[in-house]
Chains A and B, each alone.
Chain A
Amino acid sequence: MMFTEYAWLIPIIPLVAFLVIGFFGHRTPEGGGYIAVGAAGLAFVLSALVAYEVLTGRVTAPYVDQVLWLQISQGITLDFGLYLDNLAVLMMVFASLISTLIFIYSIGYMHDEGEKKRRYYTKVSLFLTAMLGLVMASNFLQMFIFWEIVGLCSYLLIGFWGFKHPKGEKASAAAASAAKKAFLVTRMGDVALLAGLFVLLNEFGTLNYAELFSAATLAAADSSAVALGSVLIFGGVIGKSAQFPLHDWLPDAMEGPTTVSALIHAATMVKAGVYLTARSFPLFVQSADVMLFVAIIGGVTAFYAATMALNNMNIKRVLAYSTLSQLGFMILALGAGGYVVATGVAGGVDVSGAKAFGYTAGVFHMMNHAFFKALLFLGAGSVIHAVGSEDMRQMGGLRKRMGITSITMLIGTLSIAGIPVFAGFWSKDFVLESVLVVAESSEPAAMIFLLLYLLALATAFMTAFYMFRLWFMTFCGEEGEASKHCHGESPPVMSYPLIALSVFAALSGFAILFGFNTTMTFQYVAGEFVVGGGGYAMLDVLEKIFTSPYAYLAIVIALLGIYAAYRMYYVRDLDPGRFNRDGQSALYQLLQRRYYFPQFYDGIALKMAYPAAMAVEEVDRKAVDGSVDGIANSLTGGSQMLRRIQTGFLQTYAAFVVGGVVVLIALIYIIGWITGGA
């Protein structure tokens, strides 16, 4: 028996949990929390079994199983089914694993929410269903449907406290507004994505991955249509993965519960964009310019978001900016790797996974980041749960009170900072290396990639700095105001998931030595696109990393960042106020105000969109409603006048009858006189 044949059950399990919790959750302990955990766990086990079969080649990848869903004229058909390759099973495994751990953690974190727990577990179960459906989909349309459902879940969960926030009216208004913002901003990207799908459907008559990703089909297609479709699809990625310039919703999304931030806005949903880029690689690599665009967006986002994390005082916001920055890293790596493949495709050269390991680097960083960022968010949630504040200035000295949280968070911090052996080191080094490969080549865009490499190095420095700043401010030094409220370590139901995630955050990097290097690759060989195969052997990876001076440069830069944070926030002999005139400098304010992006959005919304909406409303009210109302009013007005005829007096009616008879008789006489008869 092959478990892969039952892969369709994987999204069904959380779907059943969604329905059961939705209807009966309030009758079960913890508002259905255990059901959600059980369903996620089951989905994980099945995903792991399927992944084992796919990755070991027991099932030929891609495993495609689809049924006809819709048939539209002109031979356009839309299918519904599964497309399982190495990338999909990887996403399934880590999405369900992290969901399971976060659901367990939620039982502790959401314990005090009372009635609202059922709503929470219903939504997260639906989210897991949609996320699994998204990665397993066999075509772009099916993917898009689930893509929208995860967006809906994101909206619902950000606004979880939109009705009644434990911290009062203002916080609940902020949550509701953040939810709307997330929904609307990502919608802008989704419109582009949908347009991209239309372009592809128009060009190919199908949206099935299996048919689209054939090199022969793509070569026969109009290359400008494919490039246009790719760019539009990447527009959806920019929205969902919060890339510049649609990044601004993600920091605001932190208004939701911390578990939601960990699950949706760090580990899984925002990865959907990265996944889609990796999934659409065969389309994207048709044009080197598209890939260059992808890389530039990624590099700019990585740098730009990291700067905003430098001086933020909110522990969750720092992590949010960090997420943005790391997502930029993944997109940058995919863009760099894709650029190599794209030039190979254009030149008719075979490109093996080893040459284009930006794909490997991006996907690898996506997995590692899911682990360490989920860990960091859950650690932050544990701290917030204990001290009741998100302001790092009020924390400090928590190391003694919260042993497990501080150590697990230190592991996450070391990992994201890129200290050797920890997961983040491997993938970050791979990302940098993949950009450097293009920068050192003789490609026309080499200069741009060199610039992106420098941006990425600067980002690595800032990442190490702000993450250790966060850790020192929270766990070391004097006890802050809020720290005094701390009632010790979080319960085991919260700390065990932290420990489990910290193991992954520390060790998942070794995957690159044991299998990841050859399975998560993208190749263009003998005129076909292949996921998996090729890539570096284990020893080559080690040799490449530890003999390259650039790898040591990255380590030194990370250590410098940590040292700067150590001096400023641990020893405190270097006052950070010296660099920003105590928070008065223009740069500091610029970062605090997020480069004035929210104002920019508001400006667009208020100055341009609002008058336009008013004008449309005016037209609607005056012209459309006016004509409809006009017809109705003229009818009622006319009948108001006509009803005066009906006086209700019998005598009036009788008068009409008599008058009518007189007129008739007169007519008969007149007609008789005219016709000359009697």
Chain B
Amino acid sequence: MIPIEMFLGLSAVLFAVGAYGVLTKKNGLVVLMCIEMMLNAANINFIAFAAFFNDVAGQVFVIMAISVAAAEVAVGIAILLNLYKTSGTTDLEEINILRW
């Protein structure tokens, strides 16, 4: 059996990569994808602990989180699309009309 540390390590790496992408990427779409990656890092943790403790509540929670994430992505992409329509770009640094 694969020890739980492996899962936790994978999850941590995935989360860090996602966080790095959120902080540094300029393209809004990539940022959105990175957010999904961080979310899935959390999901991996849930699954790993569910298996480790033999408790299905973790799996239930993950299914719940995935469905919410799907809805969230739909909203996020709709916003991005509208942004693209109005400003002609998805570059986050260009979208600064509310900035000082």
Contact = CB atoms under 8 A, between A and B. Distances in A.
Contacts of A655: 23
B47 to A, nearest CB: 24
A2 interface: no
B73 interface: no
Interface of B: 19, 22-24, 31, 92-93, 96, 98-100
Interface of A: 643, 646-651, 654-655, 658
Contact of A648 (B22, B31, B96): B96
A648 B100 contact: yes
Given A648-B98, A649-B92, 19 more contacts: A643-B100, A646-B100, A647-B99, A648-B96, A648-B99, A648-B100, A649-B93, A649-B96, A649-B99, A650-B92, A651-B23, A651-B24, A651-B31, A651-B92, A654-B22, A654-B23, A655-B23, A658-B19, A658-B23
Closest 4 pairs (CB-CB, A-B): A648-B99, A655-B23, A651-B23, A648-B96
A655 B23 CA distance: 6
Contacts of B98: 648
Contacts of B22: 651, 654
Q: Which among B22, B23, B93, B96 has the highest number of chain A CB atoms within 10 Å?
A: B23
Nearest to B16: A658
Nearest to A655: B23
Contacts of B24: 651
A371 B35 CA distance: 103
Contacts of A658: 19, 23
A627 to B, nearest CB: 29
A663 to B, nearest CB: 15
B29 to A, nearest CB: 14
Contacts of B100: 643, 646, 648
A509 B99 CA distance: 91
22 contacts: A643-B100, A646-B100, A647-B99, A648-B96, A648-B98, A648-B99, A648-B100, A649-B92, A649-B93, A649-B96, A649-B99, A650-B92, A651-B22, A651-B23, A651-B24, A651-B31, A651-B92, A654-B22, A654-B23, A655-B23, A658-B19, A658-B23
B35 to A, nearest CB: 10
A648 B96 CA distance: 7
Contacts of A648: 96, 98-100
Nearest to A652: B23
Nearest to A644: B100
Contacts of A650: 92
Contacts of A643: 100
A646 B31 CA distance: 20
Contacts of B93: 649
Nearest to B25: A651
Contacts of A654: 22-23
B20 to A, nearest CB: 9
A442 to B, nearest CB: 94
Contacts of B92: 649-651
A519 B69 CA distance: 111
A268 B96 CA distance: 77
A149 B67 CA distance: 87
A669 to B, nearest CB: 16
A650 B35 CA distance: 13
A104 B22 CA distance: 93
A650 B76 CA distance: 15
Contacts of A649: 92-93, 96, 99
A369 B23 CA distance: 97
Contacts of B23: 651, 654-655, 658
Nearest to A659: B23
A643 B99 CA distance: 11
Nearest to A648: B99
B24 to A, nearest CB: 7
A378 B22 CA distance: 96
A654 B31 CA distance: 12
A650 B23 CA distance: 9
Contacts of A647: 99
A658 B23 CA distance: 9
B82 to A, nearest CB: 17
Contacts of A646: 100
A649 B100 CA distance: 11
A649 B24 CA distance: 11
Nearest to B97: A648
A655 to B, nearest CB: 5
B72 to A, nearest CB: 16
A191 B92 CA distance: 72
Contacts of A651: 22-24, 31, 92
A223 B99 CA distance: 78
Nearest to A650: B92
A192 B73 CA distance: 86
Nearest to A643: B100
A649 B31 CA distance: 13
A651 B95 CA distance: 12
